């Protein structure tokens, strides 16, 4: 029986199809899951690597990560997201992800992430501190994480209206 090289867990089926095709062309075997339920279906053989999207149809991939680690303890997990933040990166690594990548990521980026599973103490520091807009985004993400993604509770704790917070969260993250 051939090994399953990759399990792609992403609700963006077009993205998953393109990534699966690119990995297949490089000789990897790939399975796709579009939601939490299908991601947790037992697979034989078990996947060696899992690419997990952080936002799965409005649900957090971070909640799925511990279950995937239990189901496939030998699999390395890379979290891939279009809504990267320091808070979610820290949580992903605490929950067992070997790397955390921001979209858009190429196939080479994803393969490199699975290769670099040991910490790199030589990683260069950012040339300048984060912008005020980025610090605000990071703070919102941290407080939202503290309230398990509950927007109403987060808004109350920050002393702001829930709809204001929803509008802020609907925007794309600030780059720097």
Q: Does domain 4-115 match CATH 3.40.605.10?
A: no
| Domain residue extents for the chain | 4-115, 132-170
- What pLDDT is stored for residue 68 in this prediction? 93
Contact 42, 17 (CB under 8 A): no
Phi/psi of residue 123, each to 5°?
Answer: -60, 125
DSSP label of 55: E
Domain made up of 132-170: CATH architecture = Orthogonal Bundle (1.10)
**What tokens does 121 get?**
């103490």
Contact 73, 48 (CB under 8 A): no
pLDDT in tens, the chain (176 residues): 567 899 999 988 888 899 999 999 999 999 999 988 888 988 888 999 999 998 888 788 888 999 999 999 999 999 988 777 788 888 888 898 999 888 778 899 899 888 876 555 565 555 666 677 777 877 787 788 778 788 899 899 989 998 988 888 776 666 65
| Coarse DSSP helix, strand, coil percentages of the chain, rounded to the nearest 5 percent | 45, 20, 40
Q: What is the pTM of this model?
A: 0.70
Contact 141, 88 (CB under 8 A): yes
């Amino acid at each position: 029986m051939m090994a399953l090289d990759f399990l792609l867990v992403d609700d963006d089926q077009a993205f998953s199809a393109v990534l699966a095709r690119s990995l297949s062309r490089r000789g990897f075997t790939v399975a796709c899951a579009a939601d939490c339920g299908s991601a947790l279906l037992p697979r034989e053989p078990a996947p060696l690597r899992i690419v997990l999207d952080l936002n799965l149809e409005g649900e957090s991939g971070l909640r799925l990560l511990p279950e995937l680690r239990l189901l496939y303890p030998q699999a390395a997990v890379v979290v891939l997201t279009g809504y990267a933040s320091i808070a979610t990166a820290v949580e992903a690594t605490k929950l067992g992800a070997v790397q955390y990548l921001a979209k858009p990521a190429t196939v080479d980026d994803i393969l490199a992430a699975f290769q670099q599973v040991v910490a790199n103490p030589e990683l260069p520091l950012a040339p300048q501190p984060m912008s005020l807009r980025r610090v605000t985004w990071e703070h919102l993400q941290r407080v939202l994480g503290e309230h398990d993604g509950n927007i109403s509770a987060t808004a109350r704790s920050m002393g702001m209206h829930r709809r204001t917070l929803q509008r802020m969260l609907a925007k794309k993250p600030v780059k720097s």
